[in-house]
Amino acid sequence: MAVALYGTFAADRLAWLVLALGLTGAALLTYALASVNAGSIVSGLVGVAASWSLSAWTRGTGAPGGTVLAAVGIFVAAELAYWSLEQKSVPDEGELVARRAAGLALRGCGALVLVACVLAALGLRPGGGLILETVGVAAVVGLLAIVLVLARAVYEAER
């Protein structure tokens, strides 16, 4: 919903269409969660992503401001939606909830770094000045950390 509203306010034109798409996506997502319908989650996320894409298109070429946050928002929304569906069938015990919440936060940070890296690699400057520069540096550090973690996991599995 936040992504849809941000897209609406940031859009140079067709704001009503951006809002309609975003609201439809959010409504579909709500319906999916209420009716435990995994198929509708994809439709809802596609609606929200389309709303943001339309908003970005109205702002001309190049990555508009907030691209990183929008991408992370959509990713975290997807993760939360599927987690909620799992909870409807079998609820997690307390310890698992805490672990998964920490894992989700980590994934969110990872997504932030990754998108920033991808945008930097594509030569797109989404704007944002110092903050995004910092994110860029963090992205490189994060990528290295991921490589290290994966290497360690593979080593332990082989052992």
Partner 1 sequence: MTDGVVRYATPKLGGYVVLTALGLLASLIFARPELAAVSAPFVVLLAIGLAVSRRPDVRVYVEVDRDRLLEGDEVLLEIELDARDSAPRLELLVEVPHELELLSGANPIALRLGLGEERRLELRFRCTHWGAPRLGDLHLRAGDAAGLLVWEQTLERGSVLRVYPRPEELRQLVGPRETQLFTGNRVSRAKGEGLEFADLREFAPGDRIRRINWRASARRGELWVNEFHAERNADVILFLDSFVDARRADRGTLDEAVRAAATLTERYLLEKDRVGLVNFGGVLNWLRPGTGLVQRYRIVEALLNTEITLSYAWKEIDVLPRGTLPPKALVLALTPLLDDRAIGALLDLRARGFDLVIVEVSPLPYAETPPGELGELAFRLWKLRREGRRFQYERAGAPVVEWREGESLTSVLEGVNASRRHARARA
Would you tell me which residues interact with partner 1 (CB under 8 A)? 38-39, 41-42, 45-46, 49, 52-53, 56-57, 63-64, 67, 70-72, 74-75, 78, 82-83, 85-86, 89-93, 95-96, 99-100, 103, 107, 110-111, 114-115, 118-119, 122, 124, 126, 146, 150, 153-154, 157
- Determine the distance from the C-alpha atom of residue 48 to the mean position of all C-alpha atoms in its chain, rounded to a whole number: 11
Q: Which is nearer to partner 1, 16 or 82 (CB)?
A: 82
Under 8 Å between Cβ of 44 and 29 = yes
* Crossing angle for the helix pair 67-89 and 94-121, to the nearest 10 degrees: 150
CB of 83 to partner 1, least distance (A): 8
* CB 154 to partner 1: min, Å: 8
CB of 118 to partner 1, least distance (A): 4
User: Min. distance of Cβ 56 from partner 1 in angstroms?
Assistant: 6
Measured from the CB atom, is 8 or 47 closer to partner 1?
Answer: 47
Q: What is residue 63's DSSP assignment?
A: P
Q: Which residues contact 144 (CB under 8 A, 6 or more apart)?
A: none
Count the neighbouring beta carbons within 10 Å of the beta carbon of residue 153.
10
Residue 22 neighbours by CB distance under 10 Å: 26
